[in-house]
Structure formats: structure tokens, C-alpha cells
Amino acid sequence: MAPPQLLFAWLGNTDLRAAESDAAPTEAPLAHAVLARRPDEVVVLSNHGPERTQAYGAWLHRTTHAHAVLHAVTLRSPTHLGDIHQTATAAITDALQRHARRTVAPALTFHLSPGTPAMAAVFLLLGKTRFPATFLESSREHGVREADVPFSISAELLPDLLRGPDATLERLAAEPPPPAPELAALVHRSEPMRRLVSRARRVALRSVAVLLEGESGTGKELLARAIHTASPRAAGPFIAVNCGAIPEHLVEAELFGHERGAFTGAVAARAGHFREAHGGTLFLDEIHALPAPAQVKLLRALQESEVLPVGASRPVRVDVRVIAAANVNLLAAVTRGAFRGDLFYRLAVAILTLPPLRERPGDLDLLIDHLLARVNDEGAHDPGYEPKRLAPSARAALHAHTWPGNVRELGNTLRRAALWTTGAVIHAADVREALLPAAPSPRDTALLERPLGDGFDLQELLGDVARHYLERALAETNGNKSRAAALLGFGNHQTFANWLRRYTTGQVSSS
């Protein structure tokens, strides 16, 4: 027995105009398909109102003798993917339930031509996933034909289908992940942090490995805790481990546990951090500090979801989500041979990079107020503590600092300023006293601490520095003087050209 043929389509404007002008059915995509394929049932989805939908159904039956099931629906817009998906799913489910008693399941066909691109996109998604179906398309030039759309190609076509004339369609398609109040601890308003928090929300819902990269003090552990708390593993433990603080000879025992007597000093068995985090999240900070032998064992633990305690003969199964963090570029460490590539790619399923404070425009004032309120809360129970507020000059002094230690440095600076301030108001002098002097880098020390006399030549030294940065800027811009001038902070490319003539003899483009 042949399966009943069910044809699904949205009522498009072309079909509607054909019905209202009583045109020939071959002038309308859906009616033409009904004549060509003769389905047992036509399911018509329409957002044109009940009266016009009923009138169309009467015309379709009169001109094609089709048995039509009409669904007059209300959409917020003909491009609202959520409404379209919900409506189409309900109509398909209703049709399958009506035919459930048949001995042969019905065959589904989705017509892609009528309606908006968003409607076609939803039919593609449903027909390739939840409700396997064939696809039709129709045109005056080629008539009615089956559309062969493999799943891999349909995935490539969807972005193009979604880039229709409605500018809001792409925004509607990329619906944000559900809110995660746990991530509210990440105080921000800047666009880089908004993107980071949005990605963190998505990552939190999955138990994949996460790699957090960012400078020291940017809040990697805070983000890791927020991801854990917003995840399905929130009821499980969150174990934070600083890999750089573990003595090299104890790394394996600390991470994977050990049996009693496994080594000198092992007077009792220990579960290890992996087993302590069973059912929850293990945060491995400073992952780049792990010695090479421990990296091999960590890779196996991640691949096999099991650990072998030191001194044990059998591995132990563990259910752990690993979030790793590094304050160096881990991929660059792989290139240098300082970190295992296979472990990096195992950890880097989702990479989240925390921007430094200097690249978070608009966040500094928010963080100042948030952290100062925390300082006041911490001191509320201390004898004689008076809540602090910032004078405008103090806030200006905080803005003038570059914050190489990022949010951690800002928080500790406010704590010191509150500690040294005797009154209720923190002034600029208090801030300057609380700021730590910048530690010179090894290169700065080599440059600034050269002995004077005995052949020292300041002009030659300045020339070396100028040549270094001029040549570097040219290399990074492929010889473009305008772009190189911008990189070096010159107001225009002519100033750059003057420096170039003074310190180098290289020939570059005049662009």
C-alpha cells in the first residue's frame, strides 16, 4: 500500500493574488504544484487572516479538486523564525496525528517556493531533521520539480535564505541564549565583554572543555565559576587548582590521587582533584605551568574520562568538566614546543579570551563603583571603619592609570586607598599613594639602566630605538606610511616620513 502524500506549503502573495483574481492555477506556485503532484492532502499555512485564507481554500478546491487543510495563523512578522517554526511544527504534528491510524505512515513534501525566505529556511531545517521530507520548488520557467538539497548543502544555503530583504531577519535568527544571572558577577557594559558573556552563556549549557586565556587579573577564575554555576553541573563541586603552585614531583598525585604508601609520605590514600570534582567542574589555572609528563597523563584522563591514582593498578572513572586557564598564548607555547599540541586541542573546544581592562571602554567606572562598594562591605564590621567615597580628582587619577594588573590591581588599589584614607573621601593623593610603581620589563631595564660614560651615546641609543619601531611599523603595514604613522601615534604620514629620512635610508611606498 502506497503511503498517503501530504503536501505542506505557506500561502504566498502570488497564490493569494491568483485566487482573488480567479487566475489559472498554473499561475500560482502552490496550485501549480497541486495539479502536477496530486497529493492526497494539502496543508496550507497562512498568515493572511481567516477570511482570505478560507476564500483561497475554496478557490484551490474549485480549480484543482484538492483536499486542503487550512491553518490561519498569526505571526509577529512573516520573518519571525520562532513563530514560523512553532506554527509549522504544530501543523505537521497535527497532520501526522490525523493519519496515525493508517497502516502506512504518510510521506511528507515541503514546498519551498511560496512564502518568505524565512519560511523556506524553517521547512529546510524541519525536513532535514525532525520530519524527514522531500522538497518542491516551482517557477514559470521550469515548472514544478523536486529540489535535491543534501543536508550539508542545506546548511550552507540557510544563511543565504536568511539574508532576505528584511534587515531584522538575521537578528531574529540568532536568538540569544537563555539569561544566566550567574554571569551578572562579570560587571561590564563594553562591547568586548558583552560578546564574551554571550559566548560564556552558550558554553555554560554544554559540558565541553573550555580554555580561558587572558592577562593576569582579568577575572579568569571568576568567569570559570560563573560558567559552572550557570551550567547543568551547578549542583556538583567546583574545584580550583593552581597548576603553577604544585611541586613538580607531586602534580600527578595532586591531580589523580594516590594510594596509601604509594610514595614516601603517603600515609593515607587521597582521592585527588579529579575525583573531588566528580559530577562538577575542575578549574585548572596556569595550565601552561604543568610539566611535560603531567601533560601526557592529563591528556589521557581527558580522553578516557578516567584517572589512575599513583600506586593503583586499576583506573577510576570520573565525570568531570575541565575549564583550563592560561595567562599566556597557549597556541604560541605549542609552536615553541613548551606545551603539547594534542593537549591544547583537547582543551580548546571552546576558547574564551578575557580582554584586559585597557580594552574595555566604558567599564572602568562601573568596576570602580562595584569594587569600592565591595571594599565598604568588607570593612563594615571592622571597628571604626567609615564608608569611603571617591572625590572627582581621585576618580580622574584612577582613569589616568593604565592598569597592567587589570581588575585585580584595581580592586587592591581601592583597598589600599581605603586603608590609608582617614576620612570618608578618597582624594587623588590617596590614590597615587595606593598605586604600585610599575615594574620595568627586562627589556626596559636593559634600556634604562645602562651605565653612563665610557662611550655612552644617548643620540645613538635613541636612534636605535627609533629605527627599531620605524622598521617594525613598516613591516607590519607592508610599507604603507599612512598606516605605519597611525601605529606609531604620529598625527600624519609626513611626520613619519621625516622620522624615516632622519633615522633610516629605506625606500617605501608613498601611500
| 364 and 350 part of one domain | no
Q: Examine the domain organization and report whether 315 and 387 are in the same domain.
A: no
CATH of the domain at 34: 3.40.50.10770
DSSP string across 155-184: HHHHHHHH-SS-TTHHHHHSPPPPP-GGGG
Task: Identify which of 488, 477, 469 has the alpha carbon closest to the alpha carbon of residue 511.
Answer: 477
Domain-embedded: residue 216: yes
* Phi/psi of residue 71, nearest 5 degrees: -125, 100
Q: Are residues 44 and 148 in the same domain?
A: yes
Residue 384's pLDDT is 86
Q: Would you say the C-alpha torsion 60, 63, 65, 66 has a positive or negative sign?
A: negative
CA 52 to chain centre: 44
Residues in the chain, overall count: 511
What pLDDT, on a 0 to 100 scale, did the predictor assign at position 491? 78
> Residue 360's closest CA among 190, 197, 218?
190
Structure confidence at residue 161 (pLDDT): 47
109 close to 98: Cβ distance less than 8 angstroms: no
| DSSP category for residue 109 | E
Is pTM beyond 0.75 here?
A: no
pLDDT of the residue at 510: 41
Residue 347 and residue 316 share a domain: yes
Q: Are residues 100 and 64 in the same domain?
A: yes
On whether both 156 and 83 belong to a single domain, the answer is yes
Q: How far apart are CA 358 and CA 379, in angstroms?
A: 28
Are residues 389 and 490 located together in one domain of the fold? no
Query: Which amino acid type is present at position 486?
Result: A
Ranges in the chain, pLDDT < 70: 1, 148-182, 184-185, 438-450, 454, 478, 505-511
In a domain, 511, yes or no: no
Is 442 a domain residue? no
Classify residue 441: in a domain, yes or no: no
Contact 336, 197 (CB under 8 A): no
Statement to judge: residues 47 and 156 lie in one domain = yes
Same domain, 80 and 137: yes
Other CB atoms within 10 A of residue 86 CB: 14
Q: Phi and psi (nearest 5°) for 470?
A: -65, -45
For the chain, state the CA radius of gyration. 33
Domain's final residue, options 173, 208, 241? 173
Provide the domain limits for residue 318: 181-260+270-355
Whether residue 440 is contained in a domain is answered as no
pLDDT given for residue 182 in this prediction: 61
CA atoms of 130 and 243, how far apart (whole Å): 45
Residue with C-alpha cell 563541586? 237
**Domain-located, residue 109:** yes
Q: Which of 298, 330, 355 is the last residue of a domain?
A: 355
Q: What is the pLDDT of residue 152?
A: 40
Do 334 and 189 lie in one domain? The reply is yes
Tell me, yes or no, whether 164 and 187 share the same domain. Answer: no
What is the rounded distance in angstroms from the CA atom of residue 270 to the CA atom of residue 232? 27
Residue 444 lies in a domain: no
Write the DSSP assignment of 55-112 as a string of letters: HHHHHHHHHH---EEEEE---S-TT-HHHHHHHHHHHHHHHHHHTTTSSSPPEEEEE-
Asked if 94 and 41 touch (Cβ cutoff 8 Å), the reply is no
Which CATH number covers residue 229? 3.40.50.300
Q: How many domains does the chain have?
A: 4
Alpha-carbon span 119 to 9, nearest angstrom: 9
Q: Give one word for 403, left, alpha or beta, with left for phi > 0 and alpha for psi -120 to 50.
A: left
pLDDT (0 to 100) of residue 445:
54
CATH number at residue 399: 1.10.8.60
User: Is residue 265 domain-resident?
Assistant: no
Listed residues 355, 371, 396: the one ending a domain: 355
Q: Are residues 30 and 111 in the same domain?
A: yes
